[in-house]
């Protein structure tokens, strides 16, 4: 989608549709909506008085103005109650209007910046959220669709600001919003791609291709190099597949390539059958999404590069396919991962944590300012927190607070859960140092305690995105399927977090 910002009057935009807004309870609209109402001899006020449109959050109404407005359609979107207004609501309102425009067959859309005038938000933030809503609302995973009707989406979006003094800020916000939301869509595409078309080597190819386009550096370890590095846990997880594992390193140098970096680590299980501890058919079909942590890291690295962020940022991805086979690793096996501590395998379905501990051990060599891993790690996290909130754990309260805040700002909520000694006790093995499963009780926390054992003296946080990486129901900014969760949160953390 082509996205631009222009200074002028929205009523003069010659697009297939324009978007205006209304707070709930307002009877005499002001701002651009007021100007449209006057141009249309009070039509919008009549619509409100007649009860057809109240400004309820995400509500939409479509008018065909004929006069006073250059565009053929005028879409009104509700911003909800003024006291509940936020950047998250801007994003969702913008996405709702975008969906309405697409439904009506619009190809070109112009919108005011929601909350930029009457809403009282920072203009750059409001422009960013408005554009993010449009890009996310315009997203569809169409790579495997041949039906033309399913491919309908916007070609062009124009953000229209009346006040010329706001131009620079509006443009900066719009451009950041486009980069960040398109990076989230890039992550969605990766995670929506089925296992047959995205083995570890292809995931690595996609990361490499993206790195070449954005100027990131990228190094890929194949299965021999993974073994030579001593990443025996990642290797074990992948050994049952005919499609071998990869370890991917992406680097954004920032302004000082010698600085202590922020490291993002992603679980990249391109398909999780459970291995010899085979999953049931029910729980398996959607496990193509088990590389959503990797997708988030690749998406965030893309955004960091395109935003030209000053930070040095490194992305590490442990990619493997977890398959049952004659060569597969088995329950009872004892592994020697890159981090010292030996692991007894209790379930080959607890594979994500095995892939991650080699990445966490590798991470130590960077002496990072902070490391954040993202993983669709435990079904228990879905039960605990549902599909809107990621589990957030770690060894550094300051880092956790910053990630929590980034979650609130972006609407990618994350909630802090503990790791206590009883969780650490549950993963002690009788024959090795640790076992890879602590059983069902506190499954999210024992998994985190397992990761923690391989974190050497750096601030670290773990996001369990098992519930949030996939949407089972449609929302204006998220169709059913991969959500791209984490990309917006990680970038917000880089831009606004104090550690970063």
In whole angstroms, what is the distance from residue 318 CA to residue 359 CA? 6
Within 308-367, the residues that bind ligand BES by CB under 6 A are: 347, 349-352
223 interacts with Mn ion by CB under 5 A: no
Helices and strands (H and E) in the chain: how many: 15, 19
- DSSP for residue 82: G
Number of neighbouring beta carbons within 10 Å of residue 411: 19
Please tell me which residue in 82, 107, 279, 475 is annotated as part of the active site. 279
**Residue 203 partner contact from Zn ion, Mn ion, ligand BES, none using kind-dependent CB cut-offs of 5 to 8 Å:** none
352 interacts with Zn ion by CB under 5 A: yes
Number of neighbouring beta carbons within 10 Å of residue 283: 13
- x/- mask, Zn ion, residues 160-199, rule CB under 5 A, reads ----------------------------------------
Contact window for ligand BES (CB under 6 A) among 143-151, 155-163, 327-335, 376-384: 376-384
Minimum gap (Å) between residue 440 Cβ and ligand BES? 8
Minimum gap (Å) between residue 11 Cβ and Mn ion? 55
In whole angstroms, what is the distance from residue 59 CA to residue 310 CA? 40
In whole angstroms, what is the distance from residue 128 CA to residue 142 CA? 25
Report the chain's C-alpha Rg in angstroms: 24
Minimum gap (Å) between residue 377 Cβ and ligand BES? 6
Tell me how far CA of residue 15 lies from CA of 8, 135, 157, 400, in angstroms: 14, 17, 9, 44
Residue selected from 272, 358, 373, 412 as contacting Zn ion according to rule CB under 5 A = 272
Contact window for Zn ion (CB under 5 A) among 267-275, 299-307, 330-338, 477-485: 267-275
349 interacts with Mn ion by CB under 5 A: yes
Please tell me which residue in 267, 353, 435, 495 is annotated as part of the active site. 353
Are residues 160 and 6 in contact, defined by beta-carbon separation less than 8 angstroms? Answer: yes
Tokens of 97: 């209007």
Tell me how far CA of residue 455 lies from CA of 8, 248, 353, 426, 433, in angstroms: 54, 19, 12, 18, 15
353 is catalytic: yes
**Residue 382 partner contact from ligand BES, Zn ion, Mn ion, none using kind-dependent CB cut-offs of 5 to 8 Å:** ligand BES
Residue ranges binding Mn ion (CB under 5 A):
272, 349, 351
The residues that are catalytic are 279, 353
Positions that interact with Zn ion (CB under 5 A): 269, 272, 290, 352
Site residues (vs ligand BES, CB under 6 A): 272, 290, 347, 349-352, 376-380, 382, 437, 443, 466
């Amino acid at each position: 989608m082509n996205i631009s910002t222009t200074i002028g009057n929205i009523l003069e935009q010659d697009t297939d549709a324009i978007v205006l807004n209304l707070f709930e309870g307002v009877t005499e609209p002001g701002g651009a909506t007021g100007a449209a109402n006057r141009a249309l001899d009070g039509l919008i006020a009549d619509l409100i008085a007649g009860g057809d449109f109240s400004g309820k959050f995400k509500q939409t109404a479509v008018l065909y103005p004929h006069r006073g407005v250059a565009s053929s359609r005028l879409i009104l979107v509700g911003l909800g109650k003024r006291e509940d207004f936020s950047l998250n609501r801007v994003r969702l309102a913008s996405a709702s209007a975008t969906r309405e425009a697409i439904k009506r067959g619009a190809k070109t859309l112009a919108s005011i910046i929601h909350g930029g005038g009457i809403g009282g938000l920072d203009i750059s933030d409001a422009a960013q959220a408005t554009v993010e809503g449009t890009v996310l609302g315009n997203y569809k995973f169409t790579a495997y669709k041949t039906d033309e009707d399913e491919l309908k989406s916007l070609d062009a979006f124009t953000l229209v600001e009346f006040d010329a003094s706001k131009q620079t800020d509006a443009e900066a916000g719009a451009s950041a919003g486009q980069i960040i939301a398109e990076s989230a869509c890039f992550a969605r595409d990766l995670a929506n791609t089925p296992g047959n078309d995205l083995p570890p080597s292809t995931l690595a190819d996609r990361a490499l291709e993206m790195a070449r386009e954005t100027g990131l550096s990228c190094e890929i370890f194949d299965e021999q190099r993974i073994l030579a590095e001593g990443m025996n846990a990642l290797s074990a997880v992948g050994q049952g597949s005919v499609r071998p594992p990869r370890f991917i390193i992406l680097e954004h140098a920032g302004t000082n390539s010698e600085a202590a970096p922020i490291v993002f680590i992603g679980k990249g299980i391109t398909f999780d059958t459970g291995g010899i501890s085979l999953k049931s058919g029910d729980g398996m079909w959607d496990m193509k999404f088990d590389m959503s942590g990797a997708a988030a890291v690749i998406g965030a690295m893309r955004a960091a590069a395109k935003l030209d962020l000053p930070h040095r940022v490194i992305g590490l991805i442990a990619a493997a396919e977890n398959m049952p086979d004659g060569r597969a690793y088995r329950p009872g096996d004892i592994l020697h991962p890159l981090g010292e501590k030996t692991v007894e395998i209790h379930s080959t379905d607890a594979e994500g944590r095995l892939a991650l501990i080699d990445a966490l051990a590798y991470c130590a060599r960077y002496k990072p300012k902070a490391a954040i891993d993202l993983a669709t790690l435990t079904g228990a996290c879905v039960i605990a927190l549902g599909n809107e909130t990621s589990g957030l754990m770690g060894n550094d309260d300051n880092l956790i607070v910053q990630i929590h805040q980034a979650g609130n700002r972006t609407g990618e909520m994350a909630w802090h859960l503990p790791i206590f000694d009883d969780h650490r006790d549950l993963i002690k093995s009788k024959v090795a140092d640790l076992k890879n499963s602590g059983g069902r009780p506190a499954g999210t926390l024992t998994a985190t305690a397992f990761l923690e054992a391989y974190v050497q003296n750096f601030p670290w946080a773990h996001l369990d995105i098992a519930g949030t990486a996939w949407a089972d129901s449609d929302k204006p900014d998220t169709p059913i399927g991969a959500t791209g969760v984490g990309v917006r949160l990680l970038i917000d953390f880089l831009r606004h977090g104090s550690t970063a």
